[in-house]
Amino acid sequence: MSGRTNRIGLEFSVYRGSKTTLCAGCGHNAISERIIDAFFELGIPPHRVIKLSGIGCSSKSPAYFLGQSFAFNAVHGRMPSIATGALLANRNLLALGVSGDGDTASIGIGQFVHLLRRNVPMIYIIEDNGVYGLTKGQFSATADAGSKSKGGVTNVLSAIDSCLLAVELGATFVARSFSGDKKQLLEILKAAISHRGTVMIDIISPCVTFNDHEGSTKSYSYVKDHEEALTEVNYIPHYENIEVEYDPGTTVAVRLHDGSEVRLKKLESDYDPTSRLAALVRLHQAREKEEILTGIFFIEPRTPDFIEQLNLVDEPLAALQQEQLRPSPDVLEEIMEELR
Amino acid sequence: MSAIESALIDVQTRPTLKLICNDFNIQVATVNGSGSQTANTVLMRSLFQMGIPVSGKNLFPSNIAGLPTWFTIRVSKDGYVARRENVDILIAMNPESAREDVTMLAPNSMVIYDEPLNLGSIRQDLFFYPVPFDRLVAPVCPDAKLRRLVKNMAYDGVLAQLLGIEMAEVERALRKQFKRKPKAADLNLKAAQAGYEYAAEHLAKSDPFRVQRMDATRGKIIIDGNTAAALGCMFAGVSVVSWYPITPSSSLCESLTEFLHRYRVDSQTGKATFAIVQAEDELAALGMAIGAGWAGARAMTSTSGPGISLMAEFAGLAYYAEVPVVIFDIQRVGPSTGLPTRTAQSDVLSAAFLSHGDTRHVLLFPASVEECFRLSMEAFDLAEEFQTPVFVMSDLDLGMNNWMAAPFAYPQDSLRRGKVLTEEELNQLKEFARYQDVDGDGIPYRTLPGNGHPLAAYFTRGSGHNEKAQYTERPEEYTRNMNRLARKYETARGRVPGPVVDFNPKAEVGLVAFGSSHWALVEARDRLRSRHSLETSYLRLRAFPLSDEVEKFVRAHNRVYVVEQNRDGQVHDLIRLEIDPREVVKLRSVRHYDGLPITARTIVKQVMEQEDIGEGVDR
């Protein structure tokens, strides 16, 4: 690999992080690799990226990719607020959040839903394995009803479907993938980088230590057997020839914020990935049929993101100088006069 | 014969009653939500415009409408602005509380009441003035719904007549209040005039109270502490604000929103040089501010006790990961939900050590609206200089009540943005470790996200880290970092605003106070001197960590009373922790915690009780 450079002349190694301390075979490591590939291939300068996470195995992973990007490992379930604040301070940053199912769907559900509602421009990945790994195998809120723990306990509560929530609450890019599906995951990540608005990607990422056994619905073999791709994702970056033809009868093409295009080949002929309602219906059906649907379920690139809603100046707020930040003495005098 | 002239005659016929001029307490008792706030503000402003020192305190319930509420205006020729217990003039408009309100009055107080309440027969030792407010206001305001609001303005008129408040000033105050609603101003003015004329015609002045024009308020402003703090934030250059509504802090961010929309929108593009977000809760409010502070914006949040509790985890993260952020705590009464609309200084200990582990924060204690303005600016500078949360500890009394002040001075110093390395600086340095103590003051250098130098990026975390911000569990690395944080805190001790000391070489007794207790303390010192011949020195704390001055002050006196508005003597205990143990026996405690602002009487009483017992009492 060494020596390979990307379109901005950076070597592949620049996009690597430190050595992983997660278990060998952990799905999260495969996701880290795809993140490295995506950012390398698109030639994103690492200093433009901020990596954010909460607490848990998933949230350790930002140390294992993009070593030249700033990172913020927040407290448990509260990464969305840190990301929101950082983006308000510097709108030029490209934020990549990595969370887990416990970090998002249990302790962090409050901040998660408000992130979606605001359409904060960031990529929010859930490395979803249905268990708490660092505390040794307790169920999380995304564990399916009927799924068995390693110790033989059956989960009785139904799972929170983060994709359903995200579609419902206003995310403008909602996808699910599988850490074992290299090609699909890479294409989704590249499209995510080009999107402006909240990108929510739930990535089923089996826990080889605590949730890869018979009876688990998040094991490698279970996911492989039940994965059902709803759309085939093809990403065409803005610097490549977008004019290549496609069949509008079977493929939906969506122009992204940076001029790139994502083409979603409909594997089910009547599915419209630009319709929230269609996504909600199909996700509910999948739930009833016990399918693990993957692909981009919903995409809507035109909704103003949170920064646009707030009508901020073009320059990052963090870069403003005293002249722009502190009003003149006349202003203070005017206010004092009103108070006399 | 005017009411004032008849009063003079009446007072002369009752030799025991001296005329009381510009030195009394007015209390207006109304029903919450009945719109009395405007009438009360106009009354207070009218007196202020006559050059007479005034202060106003709103004692209100946690309720939208229906429960009793009281507004107190203290008129003090000597300029005392603290709360005073005694009510001299009661305006009784609330049927629910009227009888009890009248029962509480001292003899020779004066009562203006809504005639149907029929209060005149309750006591013989008061001066009663019945006024048929509804009948009075009906001709000027035929709309019955509006009349409920407008009738409040009529008591301003009645009082103006009875006390001698100039109607021209009432009108001026009223027009200021209804600046953008001239029609409402006219209507309200008519109601005030109706009250004024009714009193002249039907009420015989018999009480001793009156006002006389002075020249003690010229050029001054009237402002509440939350608005003053909001101004401080704007002139500090705040750019990211995230908050969650909570009494008594909400008005800070609401004022700030107004100011920023008025003065911090780029005139060319119409775009904002700030972001204000109403967060989903206090956790997110502080989280966003920390995210923004980390990325280089001047960021803040504002809350009160319950919010402070929720912010604990993030406060520890910002301390340990060293992220600048400013947190306003407009304190109210706890524990738990407590008394949401009443005042206290009871969050000091929890704020000082907010979060688990060895966490310590920098606190600032504004005592006046002027300091709400100035210390807010200081807070942003300190937060960025020390890369740490800075708490501004205001309270409901300071934050929500109106105070007189000299106009605020425009800041002379530039913003102090702290140790931030740019790409060019990194080019020259050729090395960078986020948590290294390069200068020996415990304060490391930081870089901001977006900095393109290959050395700039680092991993911010709340888990154990070494100088290079790498995860570590190594004992020596953990300890080294914690020791550096302690060193940084010691540096802060010498740089936070020092105490204000009035040292009296004749005094054996020292008084220590902070925040809004200051005003009652000033009055208490005068009383201790004039009525009890007790000379005192006074140290007013303005920050935690405590300056070395505090220990010196204790050393220089035999007995030191720490005055505060909480049950447990929180600052008393903080001082005990930080000074020479041999000096600790000198410390005594004065504590006020009934939800109402502290008074001079409370302080004098508690000091004298402990003085009488003698030395060696440690309370």
The ipTM estimated for the assembled molecules is: 0.97
More confident position, B298 or B1: B298
**A292 dihedral zone (left: phi>0; alpha: psi -120 to 50; beta):** beta
**Contact in structure between A191 and A138 (CB atoms under 8 Å):** no
**Contact in structure between A171 and A165 (CB atoms under 8 Å):** no
Instruction: Say if residue B616's pLDDT is above 70.
Output: no
CB burial class (10 A; 0-12, 13-18, 19+) of residue B121?
A: exposed
Kindly list the distances between the CA atom of residue B52 and the CA atoms of B45, B78, B210, B221, B302, in Å, as whole numbers in the listed order.
10, 9, 12, 13, 33
Closest C-alpha to B210, from B7, B510, B68: B7
Taking contacts as CB-CB distances below 8 angstroms, the residues of chain B near A75 are: 313-314, 317, 462
pLDDT at B14: 54
Say whether residue A70 is in contact with chain B using an 8 A CB cutoff: yes
Q: Which member of A74, A82, A322 has the closest CB to residue B237?
A: A322
Say whether residue A207 is in contact with chain B using an 8 A CB cutoff: no
Q: Which CATH architecture has domain B500-613?
A: 3-Layer(aba) Sandwich (3.40)
Q: How confident is the model at residue B144 (pLDDT cuts 50, 70, 90)?
A: confident
Do B292 and A329 lie within an 8 Å CB cutoff? no
Give first-to-last CA distance, chain B, whole Å: 58
Question: Across the strands, what pairs with B210?
Answer: B21
Q: Does the pTM exceed 0.90?
A: yes
Q: Cα separation of B411 and B377, whole Å?
A: 9
Taking contacts as CB-CB distances below 8 angstroms, the residues of chain B near A93 are: 295, 449-450
Q: How confident is the model at residue B558 (pLDDT cuts 50, 70, 90)?
A: very high
Do A339 and B237 lie within an 8 Å CB cutoff? no
pLDDT at B60: 85
Do B288 and A317 lie within an 8 Å CB cutoff? no
Do A336 and B221 lie within an 8 Å CB cutoff? yes
Strands (E), B396-467: 402-405, 459-461
Mutate to test the interface with A, among B277, B323, B359 (most CBs of A within 10 A): B277
Say whether residue A94 is in contact with chain B using an 8 A CB cutoff: no
- CB neighbours (10 Å) of residue A338? 11
* CATH number of this structure's domain B223-405: 3.40.50.970
Q: Which fold has domain B3-210?
A: Pyruvate-ferredoxin Oxidoreductase; domain 3 (3.40.920)
Closest C-alpha to A235, from A284, A202, A199: A199
Instruction: Say if residue B10's pLDDT is above 60.
Output: no
Q: Cα separation of B310 and B452, whole Å?
A: 36
Range(s) of chain B covered by CATH 3.40.920.10: 3-210
**Contact in structure between B513 and B563 (CB atoms under 8 Å):** yes
Question: Which letter, b or e, does each residue of B400-412 get, where b requires 16 or more Cβ atoms within 10 Å of its Cβ?
Answer: bbbbbbebbeebe
Q: Cα separation of A327 and B256, whole Å?
A: 13
pLDDT at B618: 41
Question: Across the strands, what pairs with B39?
Answer: none
Strand A138-139 to strand A131-132: parallel, antiparallel, or no bridges (unpaired)? Answer: antiparallel
Do A47 and B410 lie within an 8 Å CB cutoff? no
Question: Across the strands, what pairs with B23?
Answer: B76
pLDDT, tens digit (0-9, with 9 covering 90-100), for B254-273: 999 999 999 999 999 999 99
pLDDT at B217: 96
pLDDT, tens digit (0-9, with 9 covering 90-100), for B486-540: 999 999 999 999 999 999 999 999 999 999 999 999 999 999 999 999 999 999 9
Taking contacts as CB-CB distances below 8 angstroms, the residues of chain B near A92 are: 450
B167–chain A nearest CA distance, Å: 18
B171–chain A nearest CA distance, Å: 15
CA B480 to chain centre: 40
Query: Which are the contacts of B515, defined by CB distance < 8 A and separation ≥ 6?
Result: B345, B365, B366, B367, B393, B394, B395, B398, B565
Name the residue of chain B whose CA is nearest to A66's CA: B457
**Mean pLDDT calculated for residue range B56-62:** 89
pLDDT, tens digit (0-9, with 9 covering 90-100), for B357-387: 999 999 999 999 999 999 999 999 999 999 9
pLDDT at B617: 43
User: Percentages helix, strand, coil for chain B, rounded to the nearest 5?
Assistant: 40, 20, 40
Range(s) of chain B covered by CATH 3.40.50.970: 223-405
Instruction: Say if residue B176's pLDDT is above 50.
Output: yes
pLDDT along chain A (340 residues), means of 10: 84 96 95 98 97 96 97 98 98 98 96 98 97 90 92 93 96 96 96 97 95 92 92 92 79 92 86 94 93 95 96 98 97 96
User: Which A residues 263-282 touch B at CB under 8 Å?
Assistant: none
**Contact in structure between B185 and B38 (CB atoms under 8 Å):** no
**Mean pLDDT calculated for residue range B461-468:** 97
Range(s) of chain B covered by CATH 3.40.50.920: 500-613
Q: Cα separation of B24 and B47, whole Å?
A: 12
Q: Which member of A73, A93, A329 has the closest CB to residue B450?
A: A93
Question: Across the strands, what pairs with B514?
Answer: B541
What is the CA angle B217-B219-B222, rounded to 5?
Answer: 70
- CB neighbours (10 Å) of residue A226? 15
**Contact in structure between A297 and A272 (CB atoms under 8 Å):** no
- Relative orientation angle of helices B548-555 and B570-578, to the nearest 10 degrees: 90
- Domains observed in chain A: 12-309 (3.40.50.970)
A148–chain B nearest CA distance, Å: 32
Q: Cα separation of B420 and B418, whole Å?
A: 6
pLDDT at A269: 73
pLDDT at A61: 96
Q: Cα separation of A28 and A101, whole Å?
A: 12
pLDDT at B612: 85
**Mean pLDDT calculated for residue range B217-244:** 98
**Contact in structure between B243 and B253 (CB atoms under 8 Å):** yes
**Contact in structure between B392 and B328 (CB atoms under 8 Å):** yes
pLDDT at A76: 97
**Structure tokens of A167?**
């579609």
Do B272 and A90 lie within an 8 Å CB cutoff? no
Helix (H, G, I), strand (E, B) or coil at B437: coil
Instruction: Say if residue B469's pLDDT is above 50.
Output: yes
Do B272 and A312 lie within an 8 Å CB cutoff? yes
Q: Is the peptide bond between A80 and the residue preceding it cis, with omega within 30 degrees of 0?
A: no
Instruction: Say if residue B614's pLDDT is above 70.
Output: no
Report the largest interatomic distance among the alpha carbons of chain B, rounded to a whole angstrom.
Answer: 90
Mean pLDDT over the full length of chain B: 95
